[in-house]
Structure 1
Amino acid sequence: MTYKILSASIIYINEDMINQRIDNFLKKKFKNIPKSMIYRIIRTGKIRVNKKRIKPNYKLKIGDNLKVPPIKIFVEEKKYCNIHHYQTNLSNNILYEDNYLLIINKPSGIAVHGGSGINFGVIEYFRKIRPLEKFLELVHRIDRDTSGILILAKKRTSLISMHQQIREKKIKKEYIALVHGLWPYDLQKISKPLLKINFKNKQKKMFINNYGKVSETYFKIKKQYSCTTLMSIFPKTGRTHQIRAHTSYAGHPILFDKRYGNLNLDQLIKNKINSSRLLLHAISIDFVHPNNNKILHIQAPLDMNIRNFLQNLV
């Protein structure tokens, strides 16, 4: 364990930050600080708003002057995601941007945010290269090894609007996946509840379990090869690892899925074709723009790795 000191800071509350409880705001702003420490520095008066002590339930107002003291925190030694390897791709893979949203085609292998042994992810990268952005938050998440569409909100109002659409299931997503075996033509829907289990090594895995959350995924065959099937997949709900868990449950796991896949079958294919990335890609999304209410359709091209892989299949 090592420690680092976060320097004192003054935050001026703008319209994208208002109406949040101070404790929730600080938890989002300083994700590496334990919640217990945040509550302690609020309770002891070290956090000041307009030079006054406040309670954890204080709601921020526009124009508030928030003062945060220097904070000493202990951190684990973590692996650093090789962000420099992806810098060009991240900057060049912007699919859409305006004053409200930033949408990228995320490469496989980079996390969307720091955590779980990774210090740096997509959101940290864009915050670093765009220090003048007053607000930048992830609208949703996709797995580190999954590539494809990732949406960031540039205004709090945009984030609220997109989250409402997610809750009301108004956002339509399509994924492309290559699965083992010949997928049955009559298997077009899997509706099985998923329960998250957290292991001691900080990894999590979803299991089919009646005590889990309702999860629904739709499937359409795009092309069948000799021993694999290319699928279009439409998740109706957005549970963690939902597509990976449902395809595994069906007996047709996604190729090179280290958590839900079939390592023996993966190895047979890997010996013929030199690739090992998870063959799952978020290829398109439809939603209502949070400002002008127009329907947006965004597509993310397959990367060269997947395209070359598919060209070598028989």
Structure 2
Amino acid sequence: MINSPHANSGVQLLEIGPDAAGQRIDNFLRTRLKGAPKTLIYRILRKGEVRVNKGRIKPEYKLQAGDLVRVPPLRLAERDEPVPLAQGLLERLEAVIVHEDKSLIVLNKPAGIAVHGGSGLSHGVIEALRQLRPEARDLELVHRLDRDTSGLLMIAKKRSMLRHLHEALRGDGVDKRYLALVCGAWPSARKQVSAPLQKNTLRSGERMVEVDEEGREALTLFRVLRRFGDFATLVEAKPVTGRTHQIRVHTRHVGHPIAGDAKYGDETFTREIRALGGKRLFLHAYSLAVPLPEGGELRLEAPVDEMWAQALERLSV
């Protein structure tokens, strides 16, 4: 057990256990030194104030089990006094946890909530869960969902589970499926979209992803679930690769953008869906199957929210 520092803490000697082995020293310190700005962490690393086995190390050094880490005295916020988050947000996230065990949390993330702070946001799901589960000292996102995408999101409570799931995600061990409401009549014969994707950053700083022959290979499998005449189609999307904005860009690429997509969508289609009360991005991670370290499989499904359900109900009238 390694204790986090308190305000005005003295020199600390931290012995690295098996769960932290393989982690970069900078990431380890960011997790352990709650309240410490990244600039401070990199400064004490650069100046050699952090030592591993009495020697200087670089930020990319990977810890090994048994390493002895020396952390200098730091002035930090009390561990028990995190920046308080709105009680309503904490209660909302607690209510949407669909699975929790000793090493994993899976929740049905609402649309509109970011998975982590940054880009003008002070907090997201991971910051809120760290406040909800202060005893789980190694909480980390296993993967990400776009802020406006809802659905199943995995958060590891142990480093060993994080490593296991990252390994499964790199292969074909994790089965993630999404629901998407797309514009027009999706052809039943279109079972997949294979188109390489390239990230581009606009002058405004906004990140866009485009189909580009020079980009990375991307493959998404599709299945028609329900038709609303020629106006819209509910499809299941299974991303075989995990590229940024993959489903959103692939659907637009074949002429069937997702409802409510401000970045890649069709404004007229989105406006018509909004008139039915659908004021959100219609992309939802509804199904998840992951292998467990001890064998077997965890299979979960998460329902869509009331706004989604009501919009589809009005569409079918």
- CA distance in 2 between counterparts of 1:277 and 1:93 reads 18
Residue 84 of structure 1, CA deviation: 4.3
69 and 94 in structure 1: CA distance in 2 versus 1, 3 angstrom threshold: same
Counterpart code for 2:115: V
Aligned pairs (5 A) from 1:1-314 = 10=12, 12=14, 13-26=16-29, 33-34=38-39, 38-49=41-52, 52-56=54-58, 57=61, 59-62=63-66, 64-70=68-74, 84-226=87-229, 227-271=231-275, 273-290=276-293, 292-314=294-316
8 Å contact kept, 1:169–1:237 = no
280 and 40 in structure 1: CA distance in 2 versus 1, 3 angstrom threshold: same
8 Å contact kept, 2:273–2:279 = no
Counterpart code for 2:143: H
8 Å contact kept, 1:8–1:68 = no
- CA distance in 1 between counterparts of 2:24 and 2:181 reads 44
Residue 269 of structure 1, CA deviation: 3.0
SS in structure 1 opposite 2:20? coil
8 Å contact kept, 2:260–2:270 = yes
- CA distance in 2 between counterparts of 1:224 and 1:177 reads 12
- CA distance in 2 between counterparts of 1:246 and 1:29 reads 39
TM-score, length-scaled by structure 1: 0.86
Deviations 1:256-276 (A, max 9, x none): 0000001122113323x1231
Deviations 1:26-47 (A, max 9, x none): 366679525xx64442231222
SS in structure 2 opposite 1:302? coil
C-alpha RMSD of the superposition: 2.5
- CA distance in 1 between counterparts of 2:75 and 2:257 reads 45
Specify the alignment match of 1:3 in structure 2: none
Counterpart code for 1:192: A
Structure 2: gaps (5+ residues): 1-5, 77-82
Deviations 1:256-311 (A, max 9, x none): 0000001122113323x123100110001111112x21111111111111111111
- CA distance in 2 between counterparts of 1:127 and 1:99 reads 15
Specify the alignment match of 2:80 in structure 1: none
Give the number of aligned pairs: 296
8 Å contact kept, 2:196–2:218 = yes
Residue 232 of structure 1, CA deviation: 0.8
8 Å contact kept, 1:141–1:150 = yes
Residue 188 of structure 1, CA deviation: 1.1
8 Å contact kept, 2:284–2:304 = yes
Counterpart code for 1:26: L
Deviations 1:163-190 (A, max 9, x none): 1111112211110011111111111110
Residue 49 of structure 1, CA deviation: 4.7
- CA distance in 1 between counterparts of 2:114 and 2:156 reads 17
215 and 8 in structure 1: CA distance in 2 versus 1, 3 angstrom threshold: farther
- CA distance in 2 between counterparts of 1:152 and 1:28 reads 14
- CA distance in 1 between counterparts of 2:206 and 2:222 reads 27
85 and 305 in structure 1: CA distance in 2 versus 1, 3 angstrom threshold: farther
8 Å contact kept, 1:83–1:121 = no
Residue 88 of structure 1, CA deviation: 2.2
Residue 68 of structure 1, CA deviation: 4.7
SS in structure 2 opposite 1:16? helix
Specify the alignment match of 1:75 in structure 2: none
71 and 198 in structure 1: CA distance in 2 versus 1, 3 angstrom threshold: farther
8 Å contact kept, 1:216–1:236 = yes
SS in structure 1 opposite 2:238? strand
SS in structure 2 opposite 1:131? coil
Counterpart code for 2:251: T
Residue 24 of structure 1, CA deviation: 4.4
Structure 1: gaps (5+ residues): 1-5, 73-79
Identity %: 39
- CA distance in 1 between counterparts of 2:180 and 2:37 reads 34
- CA distance in 1 between counterparts of 2:291 and 2:99 reads 14
Residue 63 of structure 1, CA deviation: 7.0
